[in-house]
Chain A
Amino acid sequence: MSNTTGQDTGQKPAYELLGLTAGEYRGICERMGREPNYVELAVFSLMWSEHCGYKHSRPLLGRLPTEGERILQGPGENAGIVDIGGGLAVAMKIESHNHPSAIEPFQGAATGIGGIVRDIFAMGARPVANLDPLHFGSLDKPRQRFLLDGVVEGIAAYGNCMGIPTVAGEIHFEDAYEDNCLINVMCVGLVRQEDIIRARATGPGNLVVLIGSSTGRDGIGGASILASAEFDETAEEKRPTVQVGNPFMEKKLLEACLEMRDKGLLVALQDLGAGGLSSSSSEMASKGGTGIDIDIARVPLREPDMEPFEIMISESQERMLAVVEPSREAEVMAVCEKWDLDATVVGKVTDTGRLRVFDGDEPIADMPVKALVDEAPTYVVEPRRPEHERDQPLPEDHYPQPEDLGRVLLDLLASPNVCSKRWVYEQYDHMVQTDNALWPGGDAAVLRIKGRRDGIALTSDGNGRRTFLDPRRGGRAVVAEAARNLSCVGAEPLAITNCLNFGNPEKGPIYYQFQQAVEGMAEACEALGTPVTGGNVSFYNESFGQAVYPNPVVGMLGLVEDTGRLGTHRFQNAGDLILLAGDARPAADGSEYQLTVHGEVAGRIPDVDLEGERRLQALVRRAVREGLAASAHDISDGGLACCIAESAIEGGLGAAVDLEALAGGARDGLRPDLLLFGEVSGLVVLSAAPAAARRLQEEAGDVPLAVIGEVGGDRLTFTGAGGPAIDVPLAAAADAWQNALERRMAP
Chain B
Amino acid sequence: MAASPHTAAPPARFGVVIFPGSNCDADTHDAIETFAGAEGRYLWHKETRLDDLDCVILPGGFSYGDYLRSGAIARFSPLMEAVRRFAAEGGLVMGICNGFQVLLEAGLLPGAMQQNEKLKFICRLVSLKVENDQTPFTRRYRQGQVIQAPIAHHEGNYFIDEEGLAELEANGQVVLRYCDPEGEVTQEANPNGSLANIAGICNREGNVFGMMPHPERVCDALVGGTDGRGVFDSIIDSVRERSGR
Answer yes or no: are A and B bound together in one complex: yes
A431 contacts which chain B residues (CB < 8 A)?
Answer: 123, 150, 152, 214, 217, 223-224
* Cβ A161 vs Cβ B120 within 8 A: no
Given A432-B27, A434-B217; A252-B21 close (CB under 8 Å): yes
Partner of A162, one of B23, B30, B223: B23
B121 sits at the interface (CB 8 A): yes
Partner of B121, one of A156, A163, A340, A435: A156
Size of the B side of the interface (Cβ < 8 Å), in residues, is 30
Distance in angstroms from B224 CB to nearest chain A CB is 7
Q: Assess whether A436 is in contact with B152, with CB atoms less than 8 Å apart.
A: no
Give the CA-CA distance A425 to B150 in the complex, in Å.
14
Q: Provided the pairs A431-B224, A434-B30 are in contact, do residues A248 and B62 lie with their beta carbons within 8 angstroms?
A: yes
Task: Give a binary string over B204-243; 1 marks a CB under 8 Å from any A CB, 0 the rest.
Answer: 0000000000101100101110000000000000000000
> What number of A residues sit within 8 Å (CB to CB) of B?
33
The answer to whether A160 and B30 touch across the interface, beta carbons within 8 angstroms, is no
The distance from the CB of B99 to the nearest CB of chain A, in whole angstroms, is 14
Instruction: Assess whether A66 is interfacial by the CB under 8 Å rule.
Output: no
Which residues from chain A contact B216 at a C-beta distance below 8 Å? 434
Contact at A450–B30, with CB atoms within 8 Å? yes
A161-B65, A246-B65, A427-B120 are contacts. A432–B222 as well, Cβ < 8 Å? Answer: no
Q: Is the CB of A432 within 8 A of B223?
A: no
- Whether B20 sits at the interface, judged by CB under 8 Å, is yes
Question: Is there a chain B Cβ closer than 8 Å to A473's Cβ?
Answer: no
Contact of B62 among A251, A339, A435, A436 (CB under 8 A): A251
Contacts of B30 in A (CB 8 A): 434, 450
Neighbouring A residues of B26 by C-beta, 8 Å: 433
- CB contact between B20 and one of A162, A163, A251, A427 (< 8 Å): that residue: A251
Q: For chains A and B in complex, what number of residue pairs have CB atoms within 8 angstroms?
A: 88
Q: Are B217 and A248 in contact (CB under 8 A)?
A: no
Q: Across the interface, name the chain A residue whose C-beta is closest to B18.
A: A255
* A248 CA to B217 CA, complexed, in Å: 22
Contacts of A246 in B (CB 8 A): 65
B20 contacts A248, C-beta separation under 8 Å = yes
In the complex, residue of chain A having the shortest beta-carbon distance to the beta carbon of B66: A161
The yes or no answer to B61 lying at the interface (CB within 8 A) is yes
Given A161-B66, A340-B20, check contact A434 B223 (CB 8 Å).
yes
Known contacts A163-B61, A435-B223, A564-B222; is-contact A251 B150 (Cβ 8 Å) = no
A156 to B116, CA, bound (A): 14
CB pair A160–B121 under 8 Å, yes or no, is yes
Smallest Cβ distance from A566 to chain B, in angstroms?
10
Residues of A within 8 A of B224 (CB): 431, 434, 436, 439
Complex: A359 Cα to B8 Cα, angstroms: 63
Given A426-B123, A427-B120, A428-B123, answer yes or no on A160-B152 (Cβ-Cβ < 8 Å).
yes
Complex CA gap A563/B222 in Å reads: 8
In the assembled complex, the CB of B156 is this many whole angstroms from the nearest CB of chain A, namely: 13
Interface residue? A466 (CB, 8 A):
no
Query: Do the beta carbons of B122 and A426 come within 8 Å of each other?
Result: yes
A247 contacts chain B at the CB level, 8 A cutoff: yes
- Contacts A160-B62, A251-B21; is A434 near B123 (CB within 8 Å)? no
How far is the CB of A440 from the nearest CB of chain B, in Å? 10
**Is B124 in the interface zone, CB < 8 Å from A?**
yes
Q: Contact at A161–B21, with CB atoms within 8 Å?
A: yes
User: A437, B223: Cβ atoms under 8 Å?
Assistant: yes
Q: Is the CB of B23 within 8 A of A426?
A: no
A448, CB-defined interface residue at 8 Å: yes
Q: Contacts A426-B122, A431-B152; is A161 near B222 (CB within 8 Å)? A: no
Interface residues of A in 425-466 (CB under 8 A from B): 425-437, 439, 448, 450
CB distance from A541 to the nearest CB of B (A): 28
Question: Measured between C-beta atoms, what is the minimum distance from B33 to chain A in Å?
Answer: 11
Whether the pair B222, A153 counts as a contact (CB closer than 8 A) is no
Distance between A13 CB and nearest chain B CB, rounded to angstroms: 45
Q: Cβ of A427: which chain B residues have Cβ within 8 Å of it?
A: 120-123
Interface membership of B64, Cβ < 8 A: yes
**Which positions 204-231 of chain A face chain B at CB distance < 8 Å?**
none
For B123, the closest partner residue in chain A by CB is: A429
- CB under 8 Å from chain A, chain B span 149-199: 150, 152, 154
Give the residue name and chain of the A residue nearest to B67 (CB).
A248
Residues of A267-324 at the interface with B, using a CB-CB cut-off of 8 Å, are: none
Indicate whether A163 sits within 8 Å of B24 (C-beta atoms), given known contacts A434-B30, A436-B224.
Answer: yes
For residue A339, which residues in chain B have a CB less than 8 angstroms away from its CB? 20
- Closest Cβ of chain B: how far from A337's Cβ, in Å? 12
**B65 touching A248, Cβ below 8 Å:** yes
A436: which of B23, B67, B121, B223 is its contact (CB, 8 Å)? B223
Specify which chain B residues have a CB less than 8 angstroms from the CB of A340 in the assembled complex: 20
Is B152 in contact with A161, judged by CB distance below 8 angstroms? no
CA of A522 to CA of B121, assembled, Å: 39
**Chain B residue, CB-CB nearest to A152:** B120
Which among B26, B62, B150, B214 has the highest number of chain A CB atoms within 10 Å?
Answer: B62
Q: Which of B23, B26, B122 has the most CB of A within 10 A?
A: B23
Contacts A246-B65, A432-B152, A436-B223; is A252 near B20 (CB within 8 Å)?
Answer: yes
Q: How far is the CA of A437 from the CA of B220 in the complex (A)?
A: 10
B60: chain A residues at CB < 8 Å are 432
A448 & B65 in contact (Cβ 8 Å cutoff): no
Beta-carbon contact of A437 and B123 below 8 Å: no
When A161-B66, A248-B67, A427-B122 are in contact, do A432 and B220 touch as well, CB less than 8 Å? Answer: no
| Complexed CA–CA distance, A247 and B65 (Å) | 7
Instruction: Give the docked Cα–Cα distance between A431 and B217 (Å).
Output: 7
Digitize A564-579: 1 where CB-to-B-CB distance is under 8 Å, 0 elsewhere: 1000000000000000
Contacts of B66 in A (CB 8 A): 161, 248
| B35-75 interface code vs A (CB 8 A; 1 in, 0 out) | 00000000000000000000000001110111100000000
C-alpha gap A4/B157 in the complex (Å): 61
Query: How far apart are A426's CB and chain B's nearest CB, in angstroms?
Result: 5
**Do B222 and A251 touch across chains, with their CB atoms under 8 A apart?**
no
For A163, the chain B residues whose CB sits under 8 A away are: 23-24, 61-62
Which residues of B, 4-21, contact A by the 8 Å Cβ criterion?
A: 20-21
A153 touches B120 (CB 8 A): yes
Give A151-172 interface residues, CB cut-off 8 Å to B.
153, 156-157, 160-163
Residues of B contacting A436 with CB < 8 Å?
A: 223-224
Chain B residues in 8 Å Cβ range of A439 = 224
User: In the docked arrangement, what's the CA distance between A433 and B152, Å?
Assistant: 12
Q: State A246–B66 Cα separation when bound (angstroms).
A: 11
Given contacts A156-B121, A428-B123, contact A434 B65 (CB under 8 A): no
A564 to B223, CA, bound (A): 10
CA A426 – CA B121 in complex, angstroms? 8
Q: Kindly state the separation between the CA atoms of A160 and B98 in the bound complex, as whole angstroms.
A: 12
Q: What 1/0 flags go to B85-128 for Cβ under 8 Å of A?
A: 00000000000000000000000000000000000111110000
* Contacts from A to B (Cβ < 8 Å): 153, 156-157, 160-163, 246-249, 251-252, 339-340, 425-437, 439, 448, 450, 563-564
5 residue pairs A–B, Cβ–Cβ below 8 Å: A156-B120, A160-B123, A161-B62, A248-B65, A431-B214
Q: Which 8 A-B pairs have the closest CB atoms?
A: A163-B23, A248-B65, A161-B62, A429-B152, A434-B27, A429-B123, A156-B121, A427-B121
14 new A-B pairs (CB below 8 Å) besides A434-B220, A434-B224?
A156-B121, A163-B61, A248-B64, A248-B66, A251-B23, A339-B20, A426-B123, A427-B123, A431-B150, A431-B152, A431-B224, A432-B23, A433-B27, A563-B222
